[in-house]
Amino acid sequence: MQTYKNWRLETDKDNILWIYFDKQNASVNTLNRETMEELSDIVDSLKNDNQYKGIIIASGKKSGFIAGADISQFTQFKDVNEAVELLKKGQSIIAKIESLKMPSVAMIDGFCLGGGLELALGCRYRVAEETQSRLGLPEVKLGIHPGWGGSVRLPRYIGAMQGMNMILSGHTVNGKTAAKLGFVDAAVPKRHLEKAAKFYILKHPSPHKATFLQDLTNRSPFRKLLANVMRKKLREKIMPNHYPAPFQVLDNWENVGVDGQKPFDVEAESCGKLFFGDTCRNLVRVFFLQERLKGLAKECNFTPKHIHVVGAGTMGGDIAAWCAFRGMNVTLQDREPKFIAPAIKRAYALFKEKLKEPYLVQQAMDRLSPDPEGFGIKKADVIIEAIFEDLAAKQDLFKKVEEQAKPEAILATNTSSIPLDEINQVLKNPERLVGIHFFNPVPKMLLVEVVKSEKTNSAVEEKAISFVRKLDRLPLPVKSSPGFLVNRILMPYLMEAMEMLKEGIPAEVIDKAMVEFGMPMGPVALADTVGLDVCLSVAKFLSKYMNSKIPDRLTEMVKQGKLGRKSGEGFYKYKNGKQVKQKNITSETPLTNISDRLVLRMVDESFACLREGVVKDGDLVDAGMIFGTGFAPFRGGPIHYAKSKGIDDLFKQYINQRKMRGDKVESIKSWESSVEVS
C-alpha cells in the first residue's frame, strides 16, 4: 500500500479501509492544497477497487476530526481565478468520494468544521460522537461562505430551514443535535463510535434523505418565499455592505437551488470573489489576532483548582459562576448571605442555559460555594477581589488576604480604575498583585485585561494569563495605567457622544450612525447599558489623568437616579429591560459625519495608548477593542482602520474636527509618530 505524508491507510479484518487524517507537523487537522491532493490520489486508487467493502475517514489525531480549511491560505491566492480553481478542485475531490461505488463513512470525534464538514457531507454516511463533537459551517465568520459544496449539500440533506440557517449563522452543533437535524446518521458515545462506523459499511442501509417537506423548501416557489423571509431576518442582524457573505450565499441558493452541477460552480465562483473582499481579509486578520491571544502563556503549566472571589456583586458573582462553569472549585465571599444569594441565582440561570442537562447543572452548582466567612482564602490558588471601587477598602482586604493566602496563590484585583501600584502599597510582597479585569456581562465578553503593575512579577502575570485562558477568555496583557486599554479608549468616545447630545443631535441618530459603522450598539445605548453611574465614576476617575470634562448632563442624570437600563431610564426609557423605541427621529447631520467624529476620537486615544505603551503593539490595541467592545471586526480594529484609510489623511481630518470644536490642537500628538514608536 502506498504511503502518504498526511494520511495513514489501514485495512481491518472486515476488509474496510480506514483512512486516517494525520496532518504532518500539526497538532490539529486542517485541509490545504497538499493534504487535498493526497486525498485525491487515495480516492483515485479506489475508483475501480473491488478489494474493500468500504472506506472510513477518521482522524489520526488525539482530538478533533478536521477543524476546517487552513485559514492562512485564504490571503495567499494570487487572484480570484486561482481561488476559484482551488475551490473547484476541492469540490471535485469530494464529488469523487461521493460517487465511489463502495460505501463511505466519516467518523467524527471532536471538531468537524467548515471544509471538514464539507468533506464529511461528501461521504455516504456520517457517525459522530454525541456530546463533545462540534459540527458546522462557520465560514461566514471569516467573511466567506462554504466553497466545497457545503452550501449545496447541507440544505439538500436536511432542507433549507435548518440547513441555510446553519450556514447563515455559522452556528455549530454537537453530535446529538446534528443527528436530530439529520446530517449525521448516528450520534453515539465514544465507546460505540467505531462499531457504528463499521455498521454503516457492513450493512449499508439506504442513505439519509431529506423528508418530503424538507425537500420542498429547496424547490420554487417555496425557495423564493423562504429566501425573502431569511433575507429580512438577516438584515435585522447585519448589513450586506458590512458582511456580504451570508447575503451572497442566500442569493446563490435562491437563484440556482441545490440540484445538478450548477450550484457547485456558482458556489465556488462566489466564494472565490469573497476572498478578495475587505471583510474577509479583516476577519481573517481578526482570527489570527485571536489565535495570538489564545497562544499567550502557553508554556505556563499553572492549573488553578480553587478560585476564591471576594465581592458577590454583578461582576464578582458572574466571575465566580464562570469559573465554576469552567470546572474550577469556587468559594464566593461577601459580607452576608443576603449579598451572595442573588449571585447563586444568576449562576443557576447561567448553568441552566449553558449546560442544559440537570446533572451537569448540579455539578457546576456544587462547585460554587457561598463563603461569607472567607474560609476559601486559605486554600485558593487564585483570589480575585471584585468589591466596590474604593482604594482603602481594597487595601484593607488585600492586607488580610495576603496574611492568610497560600504563598504561591495569585492575588488579583478586578478593579477597572484604581492603579495597582496604589493598591499594592500595603502588601508585604507587592509583586504578587496582578489585575484580572473582566468586562460586563462576564459570560458574554471574551476579553479579559491582565494588568501588570510596575511591581508585578512576570511569573505572576504569566500565571494570570494562563488562568484567563483556562476560563476560555482572551487575555490582553496591559500596563497598569488609568483606564487600562478598553475603558480608556471607550471613554472619550462616550464623552463625545454626550457632547453631540448637548449639541442637539438625537440619541437615536447617534446610535444609528455607529451601528451603521458596524458597532454592536451605539454609544448612547452602550452608556445606558453599562450604567450611567458606572460611566460617571470612570469618567470622573479618568478626568484626573486625561484632562477631560465631565458632561453636566451625566452628573445631573445620576443625581436624579436615572442610571440607564437598570433603573428603567437613562438617555432612553426602558420597559421590562427593553429600550422603548421612538420612530421617525432624524437629523440634518449626515450619519457618516457623526460616525467619523466619534470614531476619530477613539482612534486618537488608541494611538495615545500605543505611544504610552499600554499594550505592546497596534495589533493588541485592535484585538482589545474588537474583543472588548465589539469594535466593528470587519474593519479590523481602530489602528488597522486608520492605517487602511491612511493615517495622515485621517489625522488631518481629526485636527480639523478639533479646530471646528474650538479645541487647542497644538497639544495633539501626531499618530504617525506613535506607529513608529511601536
Partner 1 sequence: MEKQNMRREVYIVDGARTPFLKARGKPGQFSASDLAVNAGRELLARQSFEPTDLGEVILGCMMPSPEEANIGRLVALRLGCGKSMPAWTVQRNCASGMEAIDNAVKDIALGRHDLVLAGGTEAMSRAPLLFNNSMVNWLAGLWGAKNFPAKLKQMVNFRPYYLAPVISLLKGLTDPTINMSMGQTAEKVAYEFNITRDQMDAFAIESHQRVAAAQESHRLNDVLPAYSNNGNYFLEDDGVRRDTTMEKLASLKPFFDKKFGSVTAGNSSQVTDGAALLLLASKEAVDKYKLPTLAKIVDCQWAGLDPSVMGLGPIYAATALLQKNNLTKNDIDFWEINEAFAAQVLGCLAAWDDEKFCHDELGLSKPFGKIDTNRLNVDGGAIALGHPVGASGARIVLRLANILKREKAQRGVASICIGGGQGGAMLIENISEMGA
Q: Which residues are catalytic?
A: 416, 437, 449, 487
Calpha distance 59→65 (Å, rounded)? 5
Calpha distance 654→596 (Å, rounded)? 9
The reply on whether position 260 binds partner 1 by CB under 8 A is: no
Smaller CB distance to partner 1: residue 356 or 583?
A: 356
Among candidate residues 627, 612, 585, 614, the one with its CA nearest the CA of residue 673: 612
Among candidate residues 489, 415, 425, the one with its CA nearest the CA of residue 454: 425
214-253 positions binding partner 1, by CB under 8 A: none
558 Ramachandran zone, left/alpha/beta (phi>0; psi -120 to 50):
alpha
The reply on whether position 313 binds partner 1 by CB under 8 A is: no
Q: Which stretch binds partner 1 (CB under 8 A): 150-158, 364-372, 468-476, 501-509?
A: 364-372
User: Cβ neighbours of residue 134 under 8 Å, at least 6 residues apart?
Assistant: 110, 111, 112, 113, 172, 173, 174
Total residues interacting with partner 1, rule: CB under 8 A: 22
Figure out which of the listed residues 345, 540, 573, 661 binds partner 1, where binding follows CB under 8 A. Answer: 345
Grid cell locating 56? 472510513
Burial track 460-478 (b if 16+ CB lie within 10 A, e otherwise): bbbbbbbbbbbbebbbbbb
The reply on whether position 379 binds partner 1 by CB under 8 A is: yes
- Residue at grid coordinates 442544559: 356
The reply on whether position 342 binds partner 1 by CB under 8 A is: yes
The reply on whether position 371 binds partner 1 by CB under 8 A is: yes
Figure out which of the listed residues 60, 313, 372, 630 binds partner 1, where binding follows CB under 8 A. Answer: 372
Calpha distance 252→17 (Å, rounded)? 37
Is the Cβ–Cβ distance between 52 and 10 less than 8 Å? no
Is the Cβ–Cβ distance between 279 and 143 less than 8 Å? yes
Figure out which of the listed residues 373, 503, 666, 676 binds partner 1, where binding follows CB under 8 A. Answer: 373
Is the Cβ–Cβ distance between 665 and 658 less than 8 Å? yes
The reply on whether position 327 binds partner 1 by CB under 8 A is: no
Is the Cβ–Cβ distance between 444 and 321 less than 8 Å? no
Figure out which of the listed residues 122, 147, 244, 376 binds partner 1, where binding follows CB under 8 A. Answer: 376
Give, in order, the Cα–Cα distances in Å from 152 to each of 63, 145, 226, 231: 28, 11, 16, 18
The reply on whether position 365 binds partner 1 by CB under 8 A is: yes
- Grouping H, G, I as helix, E, B as strand and the rest as coil, residue 551 is coil
Smaller CB distance to partner 1: residue 81 or 303?
A: 303
Figure out which of the listed residues 207, 337, 561, 590 binds partner 1, where binding follows CB under 8 A. Answer: 337
The reply on whether position 443 binds partner 1 by CB under 8 A is: no
Smaller CB distance to partner 1: residue 294 or 345?
A: 345
DSSP secondary structure of 285-321: HHHHHHHHHHTTTTT------EEEEE--SHHHHHHHH
Q: Which stretch binds partner 1 (CB under 8 A): 77-85, 341-349, 433-441, 508-516?
A: 341-349
50-89 positions binding partner 1, by CB under 8 A: none
Mask: binding to partner 1, 150-189, rule CB under 8 A, as x and -?
----------------------------------------
Figure out which of the listed residues 131, 241, 362, 429 binds partner 1, where binding follows CB under 8 A. Answer: 362
CB 335 → partner 1: shortest distance, Å?
A: 13
CB 345 → partner 1: shortest distance, Å?
A: 3
Q: Which stretch binds partner 1 (CB under 8 A): 1-9, 136-144, 365-373, 513-521?
A: 365-373
CB 529 → partner 1: shortest distance, Å?
A: 23
- Grouping H, G, I as helix, E, B as strand and the rest as coil, residue 240 is coil
CB 369 → partner 1: shortest distance, Å?
A: 5
- Site residues, partner 1 (CB under 8 A): 329, 331, 337-338, 340-342, 344-345, 348, 362, 365-367, 369-373, 375-376, 379
